[in-house]
A and B are shown apart, each in its own frame.
Chain A
Amino acid sequence: MSAVLNASHTPPPPAAPLHQVSPGLWQLAWRRLKRDKVGIVSLVVVIFFLLMMVGSYTGLVAKNWSKEVGVSYANPSFMAGAENLEAVRTKADANAPKIEPVDLSDIDPLAPRYAEWAERTAKIKTTEVKRAESLAFGGDKWGRDVLQKAIKGAETSIFVGLFAALFATIIGTTLGAISGYMGGKVGDLLEWFYNIFTSIPYILLILAFAAVFASSPQLAAYKGVPMVVAILAFTGWTGIYRLVRSEYIKHASREYVKAAQAIGASDSRRMFVHILPNVSHVCLVQLSQHVVQFIKAEVILSYLGLGVPVDSVSWGTMLAEAQSELVIGKWWQLAAAGISMAILVTAFSMLTDSLRDALDPKIK
């Protein structure tokens, strides 16, 4: 597998006599990572979540997450016998309007949205003949399987985190590379741009973007996941920009780049063929760090109703429902979303640390 890794970054010289090419820095990093037990375990966990995401996206798992398979607030199967007053009440008065367990509307800024959510959920509602009394990890208010919801929610949250981080890294790296390498007027312009974004507190910047994007009639078609990705990417590139810029400034004055200039390599060749592979490990670590950051941000945005709509469940919307459920003692939705997110984020953070250690180019 190391040959594959190598081939993608440093193609062996063409028409060379058959010969074992020495391991490059990427391969050495991979070897170091393989020795790091924590790193490998984290990698396995992350890959598991990614596979789950693909599985749920293609409909292999959690396909029926929106089906109301259980009674309202069905107990988790490990506490199947427990009393479930909510289900009894719902059954008793099926036609009655949905009961708000505890009215939090005065403290909850999202109160107006509940009606909207309930309405949307009602649309997806299908008539079920038989509803289970208990589900693997319990059910929500409408009797949907919480475990399936958590898997589907993971798909949304990871998708948003991954793509937002990818775009932020692309923006940050491109601008940082140009600014750091070119300097001068172009560099000043980009620095100005960077200063604008960083002089607005980050949270405020996100909220401002969210407010505008959400109310913009032109962008209405992109509401939901694409919009969250865009908000996070447009506001989150600054840290990567700063880092990549300083790396480029550092490398541009290194002797190997001067040597490339001396042999007549063009600017773009120096920027992308010479320097980029030498800072790519920084970008990779940043990417992985931002995935974590953006997953957390997505959860909060969705909770606030500025993220994905409720009909495409995410960990954030699950937590929004869980808040009022907890008061009536239904803790499983909170646990499912909170724990699955904690496991992924822990694994991702540890993988980031291991990556950083493995890629640390001390041997240079």
Chain B
Amino acid sequence: MKFKTLFSYGLILSCTSILADEFREEDRHFTLKVQPLLSEKCNGCHGDDAEKIKGGLNMLTREDLIRGGEEWGDEVLVPGDAKKSFLIETVKWADPDWEMPPKENDRLTKEQIADLEKWIEDGVAWPEESVQLAIRKAAAEEAVTEEGMIVQTSGGLGDEWTYRRYNPEDLWAFQKLVRPDVPQPNPTVLNDGSHPVSSNPVDAFLEAKWAESGVKPAAQASPGTLIRRATRDLTGLPPTAEEIDHFQKSWEKNSEAAWSELIDRLLVSPRYGERWAQHWLDVARYADTGGMSNDYERSNAWRYRDYVIRAFNEDKPYDEFVLEQLAGDELVDRSLRERLQGDYQAYVKGRQEGNYLPEEAEKIIATGFLRMGPWDPAMVKREEARQLYLDDVVNSVGQTFLSTTMRCFKCHDHKFDPLPTRDYYRFYAAFAGTQMAERAVPFLPEENRDGFEESREMSKELLDFARAEVKTLTNKREKAARAWFQENGLDYVSHADRKELPDHVKPPRHVGLSVEEQGQLKVREQDVWIWERRLDRYEPLAQTVYNGPDPKFLNARKLRMSGNPNINWRPESHILTGGALEAKGEAVTPGVLSALGVPVQGASEDDPYQIPDAIEGRRLALAQWIAHPENPLTARSFVNRVWQQHFGQALAGNPNNFGVKGKKPTHPELLDWLAADFVENGWTLKRLHRLIMTSRAYRLAAEHPRREYLAAEDPENQWLAYFPTRRLTAEEIRDSLLAITGELETDAGGLPIKPEINMEVALQPRMIQFSLAPAYQPDPIPERRNRRTIYAYRVRGMADPFLELFNQPNPNDSCEVRDSAAVSPQAFTLLNSDQITDRSIAFAKSLREEATDLETQIGNAFRRTLGRAPDGIEKKRLGRYVREMTDYHRGVEPEAPVYPTEITRSLVEEFSGDTFEYEEILPAFRNYQPDLKARDVDAETRALADLCLLLFNANEFVYVY
């Protein structure tokens, strides 16, 4: 491949082009600005397809355009008078009936409209083709002109795209990462005596913006607010009353030391990894099932979840984190080969059996990242199922690590970014041999295998039950079949063997079974698959990938690695025109995004962005390119996400899209400085947390004396003149409740826990292919089910309704930022659900054990929930409330909960169109240990629980300041 223009980044000249001398300015304006605009925005409906010209208006030639269309004639374009030209009205969307181009996405920018106006005012120049060509050719020689810059790429599908010009500011994220100088402190803003002196570069950059806008930052937040903010931020849990007291005392002695000590303490807490891994899993789309029609369990997905938690807790350098998730399998297979010193047979065997050292196992588990998307090939052609997987992986890798939405250049060259569709398919080729599989990978000593025995027993019981039911039904069928053969004077042929026989020499398909039994058999057979598959949970398997040809059959139920590494095999890779499998275009080699100007290590000068062709190592080369210190997107992407979690809003507002259409950074130098600093200091995250959290900006109050002025001048709080408030996430609400009541179990990792969820939802039937999904059975013992939410079983086809209501994201899509809309069903669940009621009872019981008098109990309830003592009015009013509610509860008797050990299911059967019923067993409820219930406690405790419930619902509890 040849790269046609030379161009270096960072070179942005404001030059007057030499071209001006050779060509008429009007002709240049048309050719370089107007013509591309018409071609991109108008000609699709007004000329490209001669058969379908909308409104009769052809815009391909000057004459046609001036002639006009059916409803609008020569008023469309009046040379020399933009005001009279209706074209300008339409592109301004001034007339609601004539808004052009009609799509919001295609609307012209102010600059583009001005270009059109200038063109019309100047007399509608339209040089002939040869002149246009000459102008374009001359322009292409100039990398940077006042029209923008050309970006060197592997080339678009047409020259027009290849030589397209970009506003350099739009490509901020593609520019080389250079550490900017830290601005000098401004003695009139932050360091004017109102705050303790700051030497933190974060403050220096923010201060520049404050100075420019004439707004001073808010005061420092109170120590009580600060410990809540930091503890929630780093651990996702509220600080205990003791922690608050301790912090406030240290703060009084030496506030700086207290703050720094607090951050250090929180960063070494195992709870830190559990909180920050969640942010990563939101982006990676973690779930324990595969979604789609079968929603099969991905039984060992938890190993990836735990890997991410460990990575955060151990402060794994981010570049390693990237390599392991994209190419961990390639790294370890390489090290296995090296260990075995070229003994190929031993290597094949070791790979199949999973003879990996713990440090190798860790890496291959990490590559589970490439298994995170929803996928099921049922009823999809094999090639298409592969394409669905690869498109999903390519997009996920782009969004996650490069903040680039890859989907946008799958069918055509990118409409806005310098990303040719060729690069999409080069990137795609890097994954072309990537196959999903459950691979043998030994358990690590640090992997928690608690509950394996109990859980396996229950899975086996459910499997045995399903098998026995199948047996009963098939015995009945075969008994009838024998009778049929006998009646017809034929020898009995088994069910499997008679499949291919003609209809007249065998009994009817479901002989001997009623329509109802036919349906039951189908459900039970499906259950056998489900529970057989579930036994994978207890095997040393990891949901990961390997390299090789596409398997003959794809079935999400079971994906195992081919024994033959087949290293000589090469996938064919093409540009797929319009994204269609049938439309194979030009062949491509694997490669990276050329527009970044970062070569692949060791690649030739001819094509510096090409990845070696060998089937092993493609992903590693790609991962090394992503994790390369020179890659301008990688560090910016990650640092931006980290900032977003600390401040609730990212510096660049679309963390999954740094392209032309993504939001531009509010503080570009700050982002670049942080990113460069991050890379130079070994990509370590905990250092970055410290840097950000020790800034003054992180410690500002959420209130600002000039809030009204700011609401007008900076409605989105981009200047960060005060600290943004946020609502707790779904996981934080559940975890905090358990922590406050004292029920939280801090055991970490392992098999997904099954918390209690709304019982109606747990038992509600849910369609999967051919059948109903088994009921959700919570863990029978509180010690298991009351662990943190990150460990909870995440089923794509069925969200925990509590978490879903509080905006836990859909795991089918990468979530760059969580919604926190307040909807009324949230109130229902926080007031009425069994879960919240149980928490309130547990809390009340604990409060009553802690102190005997009501006033102390109320005080403790406030401290544990809100982190502060109640004031006099609160004490008085709520004390009266609890006493009156005690009277109320003396008069009522709560019901005992009922836990069904079996349930009758009904399903509409395709065989009959009628509903049929069957029994499902629920072994979890046989020896179920419920949480403490209202019925188990006295009226005083229930009344105190009423108060606890109020606190759980209070705004003060759900918002972090």
Q: Do A and B come from one complex?
A: no
Residues in B lying within 8 Å of A, measured CB to CB: none
